[in-house]
Amino acid sequence: MSRKIIYLISAGLLIITSTFAAAQQAAPQPENCVEPEFRQLDFWVGDWSLEWDNANGTKGKGTNIISKSPYGNCVITENFDGSPTINFKGMSVSTWHKPAKLWRQTWVDDKGGYFALTGGPNADGTFTLTNTRLNDKAPHSRMVWSKITPDSLVWSWQGHKAGVTDADKKWQDQWVIRYTRKK
């Protein structure tokens, strides 16, 4: 084939491809994840300074960056960093699971931790996600967001004390973090 024919074929393909791409962009695309349930965790989105009380009476500090992910309004991503107080980093992805009518979160961290949590908003204004237990002997834990304002909230990791029966389960705070929105 001559160079001129190759050039003409290439130019033709470029025009066709460009035209097709422009037509796709011009066509209105249906927006995903527009249901109001996808906004229920939006209070958490932001760049946060964290503080907690250590067992020795000192204050712990860290950061957490919560954002809408590259998946638009469908997924919220978390990037937790416990430094300078503790050497602990983790991340989560959260989404409203429409078929089950609940929120789902997957957490992983640099210590090999993994949690699959489900839940959602409560009538009292809190938001709770409970860990999925693999068996009855696995720890029962949950996280609760409370005291939610535009610039602050309290996040609590809770569990059951050892020996507590199912009949009288009482949640105990194991780690309480105070969030303040960075300005």
Q: Which residue has the tokens 């720890």?
A: 139
Query: Rounded to 5 degrees, what angle do the CA atoms 149, 130, 169 make?
Result: 105
Mean pLDDT of 70-94: 95
Tell me: pLDDT of 27 over 70: no
Whether residue 97 is found in the same domain as residue 140: yes
Instruction: Give residue 140's pLDDT.
Output: 86
Reported confidence tier of residue 4, pLDDT bands at 50, 70, 90: low
Whether residue 18 is found in the same domain as residue 65: no
Whether residue 64 is found in the same domain as residue 10: no
Whether residue 45 is found in the same domain as residue 9: no
- Tell me how far CA of residue 81 lies from CA of 89, 109, 110, in angstroms: 5, 10, 10
Instruction: Give residue 18's pLDDT.
Output: 56
Q: Which domain holds residue 110?
A: 36-181
Whether residue 13 is found in the same domain as residue 73: no
Whether residue 23 is found in the same domain as residue 74: no
Instruction: Give residue 13's pLDDT.
Output: 47
Q: What percent of the chain has pLDDT over 70?
A: 79
CATH of the domain at 116: 2.40.128.20
Instruction: Give residue 180's pLDDT.
Output: 98
d(CA 156, CA 70): 27
Report how many domains make up the chain.
Answer: 2
Reported confidence tier of residue 173, pLDDT bands at 50, 70, 90: very high
Mean pLDDT of 103-127: 97
Whether residue 17 is found in the same domain as residue 92: no
Reported confidence tier of residue 36, pLDDT bands at 50, 70, 90: very high
Whether residue 4 is found in the same domain as residue 67: no
**Secondary structure (3-state) at 140:** coil
> Nearest-CA neighbor of 143 among 111, 173, 98?
173
Whether residue 24 is found in the same domain as residue 43: no
Whether residue 64 is found in the same domain as residue 5: no
Residue pLDDT, tens place only, 130-168: 998 888 777 789 999 999 999 999 999 999 865 565 656
d(CA 107, CA 89): 11
Whether residue 12 is found in the same domain as residue 62: no
Tell me: pLDDT of 45 over 50: yes
Mean pLDDT of 77-97: 97
Amino acid letter for position 120: G
Whether residue 23 is found in the same domain as residue 45: no
Tell me: pLDDT of 8 over 70: no
